[in-house]
Amino acid sequence: MSGQTAVSIFMGSKSDLPVVQSASDILKEFNISHNMFILSAHRTPEEVVKKIKESEANGVKVFIAAAGMAAHLAGAIAAQTTKPVLGIPLGGGDLDGLDSLLATVQMPKGVPVATFAIGKSGAINAALCAVQILGTSSEEISAQ
């Protein structure tokens, strides 16, 4: 997919990159333009909002958000956009990802986040879901 950036991937910490990279690799396989940001919903909320708005201005159609523990990043993004938000809970911490899974999946009515499995398999499936979403309006993508 050429031209505008189609997907923005947000992660809460640099340590999330090894898992999130698998989502980026899937998008590359389908030639889907994307960018990645390392931003915390808790530590840099204003920067998160700024990057959401910049992403939308650059044509982003889908957001992917990966975070561990308190994992509010996907919800913070969903609260700021009407575009699909795909949440990847990450392992780690004392609860090994259960806390991030619950934080990502338990969204209030009106703030939808599609939530995937914890970790790498969730990252891969989130990227494949983004491909499917983009494929609904692109013959080039759906043909792949």
pTM: predicted TM-score of the whole model, two decimal places:
0.95
Domain assignment present for 67: yes
Q: Quick check: is 1 in a domain?
A: no
How many angstroms separate the CA atoms of 112 and 35, rounded? 22
State how far the Cα of 6 lies from the Cα of 59, in Å rounded to an integer. 6
- Total domains in the chain come to 1
- Looking at residue 117, which CATH number applies to its domain? 3.40.50.1970
User: What domain range is 95 assigned to?
Assistant: 7-142
Cα–Cα dist 114/64, whole Å: 9
From CA 75, how far away is CA 71, in angstroms rounded?
8
Return per-residue pLDDT of the chain as tens, 144 residues: 446 899 999 999 999 999 999 999 999 999 999 999 999 999 999 999 999 999 999 999 999 999 999 999 999 999 999 999 999 999 998 999 999 999 999 999 999 999 999 999 999 999 999 999 999 987 888 778
For residue 79, is it within any domain? yes
Asked, for residue 27, whether it belongs to a domain, the answer is: yes
Q: Report yes or no on 2 lying in a domain.
A: no
